[in-house]
Amino acid sequence: MSGTATAPVRVGQGFDVHQVGDDPARPLILGGCRFPDLPGLVGHSDGDAVAHAIADAMLGAAGLGDIGERFPDTDPALAGADSIELLRLVARAVEKEGWILGNADCSVICVEPKLAPVREDMQRRLSAAAGGPVTVKGRRPEGLGALGRGEGIACLAVAVLVRREP
């Protein structure tokens, strides 16, 4: 079966990881939510690893490459870009190919922040941008490696796309 099969459902996975930065002026942004009391993530855009992982999963499911191809970190126009807006652009590209988001699920692996207090807001923002239901779960790295030392944040996402009705 070729990569252009017209199955009614497609699944994609996404992954993103960013190092915690040391720029005091850069806020931490995850899932479109700001955590102003924590250092931001290093990245060409706003560093929102949650939005990036979900966008990557959606692009993969649609057979549209990956987030680095679509939004290269060498493009000066994308410096500081709002990743929720990038996710919205991905959703439009996916829809243009005849797909809509059935659902996406993302696990965020970090020492901090605690996601529970903002989980509903984060899911609402991500769902609105992605065009379908998005769920987010926090996972603790339990002291293991760089993530366990709080040196970065990693995100794993899965997206299910369904063929849009004609």
Under CATH, which number does the domain 9-163 receive? 3.30.1330.50
Tokens of residue 91, six digits: 């959703």
Kindly list the domain boundaries of the chain, sorted by start residue.
Answer: 9-163
| Three state DSSP letters for 106-155 | EEEECCCCCCHHHHHHHHHHHHHHHCCCEEEEEECCCCCHHHHCCCEEEE
The per-residue pLDDT for range 108-154, each reduced to its tens digit, is: 999 999 999 999 999 999 999 999 999 999 999 999 999 999 999 99
The per-residue pLDDT for range 47-70, each reduced to its tens digit, is: 999 999 999 999 999 999 999 999
| Residue whose entry in the numeric block shows the structure tokens 């190092």 | 19
Q: What predicted TM-score, i.e. pTM, was given to this entire model?
A: 0.94
Residue 164's pLDDT is 84
86 phi, psi to nearest 5 deg: -65, -40
**Portion of the chain with pLDDT greater than 70, in percent:** 96
Pair 135, 164: CB distance under 8 Å: no
Tokens of residue 43, six digits: 């990245």
**pLDDT, mean of residues 30-58:** 96
**Portion of the chain with pLDDT greater than 90, in percent:** 92
**pLDDT, mean of residues 156-162:** 98
**pLDDT, mean of residues 5-33:** 93
Residue 1's pLDDT is 44
The per-residue pLDDT for range 72-93, each reduced to its tens digit, is: 999 999 999 999 999 999 999 9
Residues 6+ apart with CB under 8 A from 111: 140, 141, 147, 148, 149, 150
**To 10 degrees, what angle do helices 83-96 and 49-62 make?**
10
Nearest one of 106, 73, 71 to 89, comparing CA atoms = 71
Residue 7's pLDDT is 79
**pLDDT, mean of residues 20-35:** 95
